[in-house]
Amino acid sequence: MNKNDKLWVAILIALLAAYFAWNYLAPKQPAPVAAPAPVVAPAAPVAPVTPVAPAPVATLEAASQNYYTLANEQVKLTFSDLGARLTKAELADYRATNNDDAAPVVLDTGDLMNLKFDGVAPYLTYTATQPDEKTLVFKTMVGTVALERTVTLEKDYAVTVRDAFTSAEGAAIAPYVFNAGSFGLTEASGDTMGFDTLAVGEKKPEYHEGDLAKVLGARSAFLGCGTSTDPTGLPLSGETALATPQSWVALKSRFFTTLVMPPVAAPCTYGVSRNATAKTLQINRVNATFTYPAQQLQAGVTTGVVTRLYVGPKKLSGLKAFGNHAERIMDFGMFAWFCELLVPLLNFFYAIIPNYGVAIILLTLLVRAIFWPLTHKSTVSMRKMSVIQPQIKALQAQFKDQPQKLQQETLKLYREHKVNPFSSCLPMLIQIPIFIALFTVLRAAVELRFSSFLWIADLSQPENLFAGILPVPLNILPILTAVTMGLQTHLSPGAGDPAQKKMMTWMMPMMLLFMFYSMPSALCLYWTVSQMLSIVQMWHIQKTTAQTPTNA
């Protein structure tokens, strides 16, 4: 989760804690995938190195370029012979906007795969051939060194890039940079920008979203790509180097990513640029490069490296298949293990009934069913505590000056009525991780992007009904969320001051309405359905226990 998400989680947990304290505690006021390897082990670095004479090259602005494509059912990749670069990726399964006839999403990858050698002009001109529909071969000369790049489109969104260097007489290759490309915001509203790295030897990535604006010198980068910081005086772009060699880097938006995995961990530099016309600081593009050391080629011996790319959606199954912990860019947080169970469940229900709104409801039903026995026991315990509360107050008045005696008599009263004051705590404590996991999954799942349900056009966004007509767009689900929360609080067995309970009945719903109003519809749908089921359960328990003695 990014820092903004963590803030909302913290606030929601605080609200849950307040609700929990009021309704629960008040009555007792007393498969590993191997990392890619080089085609041929690189020769030991040598320094200093005198760069070989550069081959004729052209600038990006002035040169004419020829374009080539590789495609499968999921993605169409476009390459240029100027730099042997991947310039863009067209994703067939994802629309650019929420219109049925919208064109597919196009990811502008910038200079991805361009090699820049010290002392050589930035862009080499390559000769391209295409042996088959999934392979491109680019060839060029860097002085007396022959460079052959073979690009292969693998399954789904994976790409393999093999760079081979050969010198008939033996030559030195100057230090060079592998450009990991750039990534910009998509057309969809609510998009975000991020940059993740996985340091050598680590399993958990470092998430740099909160650091992006700091690269430009901003004091606060709390909201990642959009802040309230005044950009006046800040540079339009900047970059920073990471001290630790990185196993991969991922440039990403909310739902899409370009992940670059070099053959061996290498030093990395990342940069950002901002919107020059925005009145507040807005990061609209990130980029990254890997740096490789100089090498000495042996005469007639080919030295090569293999780089792997993932260019596509932040989809859990595809990233897991890519390997080397690539799925961690989902940033599921401390309950990632549970999030990774929820996503397949969500897709399982979608396979049964192909609508993600229905899938969310079915997932909610499953979660509530699993915890129904615990919640039932908790609610019954709360009801018993509420019934014996007058007796507890009488004990408090009788033994107000004898705290030890009060404690003994209170515990005796609990035993007589078979009440455990702590039995109501467990269901809430267990459900907090589930709530956080669902919160994270429903905000990040690419499956929900542009998925409709009833009147909701996009489950990944607020409803935004009558936008442009009303001063504030109408979101019905957050209102239902607030209403069900109020009803649930009203029905919950509590033993506090009636005036305070009335205040909580209104305060909690209003706070939830404020927080949920701009959140994705998917999250509001889950929360509302979950509360409706809780209300049904409370009603059922109250009906079945109305005539049951409290000491039963």
- In a shared domain, residues 514 and 455: yes
Asked if residue 493 has pLDDT above 70, the reply is no
User: What three-state secondary structure class fits 300?
Assistant: coil
Segments forming the whole domain that contains residue 159: 39-175+293-323
Asked if residue 185 has pLDDT above 60, the reply is yes
> Is residue 403 in a domain?
no
User: What three-state secondary structure class fits 2?
Assistant: coil
pLDDT of residue 420: 67
Beta strands in 293-330 (DSSP E): 295-296, 303-313
- Among 75-84, 217-226, 230-239, 301-310, the range of highest mean pLDDT: 75-84
pLDDT of residue 138: 95
Asked if residue 268 has pLDDT above 60, the reply is yes
- In a shared domain, residues 251 and 347: no
Of the pLDDT bands very low, low, confident and very high (cuts 50, 70, 90), residue 501 is low
Written as six digits, the tokens of 547 are: 């005539």
> Is residue 416 in a domain?
no
- Residue type, position 283, single letter: I
- In a shared domain, residues 92 and 122: yes
Of 291-300, 347-356, 541-550, the one with minimum mean pLDDT is 541-550
pLDDT of residue 31: 34
For the chain, percent of residues with pLDDT exceeding 90:
24
- In a shared domain, residues 271 and 255: yes
- In a shared domain, residues 170 and 297: yes
How crowded is residue 516: how many other Cβ atoms within 10 Å of its Cβ?
Answer: 25
379-392: average pLDDT: 71
> Is residue 407 in a domain?
no
Using a CB cutoff of 8 Å and minimum separation of 24, what contacts does 547-552 make?
Answer: 550/384, 550/387, 550/388, 550/417, 550/419, 551/416, 551/417, 551/418, 552/418
User: What three-state secondary structure class fits 312?
Assistant: strand
Number of structural domains in the chain: 3
Q: pTM, whole model, 2 decimals? A: 0.77
pLDDT of residue 225: 45
pLDDT of residue 102: 86
376-394: average pLDDT: 72
pLDDT of residue 438: 80
513-529: average pLDDT: 87
- How would you classify residue 157: left for phi > 0, otherwise alpha for psi between -120 and 50, otherwise beta? alpha
> Is residue 456 in a domain?
yes
137-160: average pLDDT: 92
Of residues 202 and 49, more confidence is placed in 202
Of 69-73, 144-148, 210-214, 461-465, the one with minimum mean pLDDT is 210-214
445-459: average pLDDT: 90
pLDDT of residue 25: 42
> Is residue 31 in a domain?
no
- In the block, which residue shows the tokens 């990403």? 252
203-223: average pLDDT: 74
Contact predicate 74/91, CB 8 Å: yes
Contact predicate 298/43, CB 8 Å: yes
Of 6-15, 257-266, 347-356, the one with minimum mean pLDDT is 6-15
pLDDT of residue 54: 40
User: Using alpha carbons only, how large is the chain's radius of gyration in Å?
Assistant: 30
Asked if residue 248 has pLDDT above 80, the reply is yes
61-67: average pLDDT: 74
- In a shared domain, residues 107 and 21: no
230-234: average pLDDT: 81
315-323: average pLDDT: 91
- In a shared domain, residues 160 and 201: no
pLDDT of residue 302: 84
Of 158-162, 280-284, 286-290, 328-332, the one with minimum mean pLDDT is 280-284
- In a shared domain, residues 140 and 245: no
> Is residue 353 in a domain?
yes
pLDDT of residue 5: 47
The pLDDT mean for the chain works out to 78
- In a shared domain, residues 113 and 190: no
pLDDT of residue 347: 92
Asked if residue 498 has pLDDT above 80, the reply is no
pLDDT of residue 2: 47
Asked if residue 130 has pLDDT above 70, the reply is yes
> Is residue 235 in a domain?
yes
- In a shared domain, residues 96 and 162: yes
- Among 16-25, 93-102, 433-442, the range of highest mean pLDDT: 93-102
pLDDT of residue 231: 79
pLDDT of residue 312: 93
261-287: average pLDDT: 86
pLDDT of residue 499: 60
- In a shared domain, residues 283 and 431: no
> Is residue 53 in a domain?
yes
232-250: average pLDDT: 88
72-98: average pLDDT: 92
- In the block, which residue shows the tokens 């080919």? 302
- In a shared domain, residues 156 and 235: no
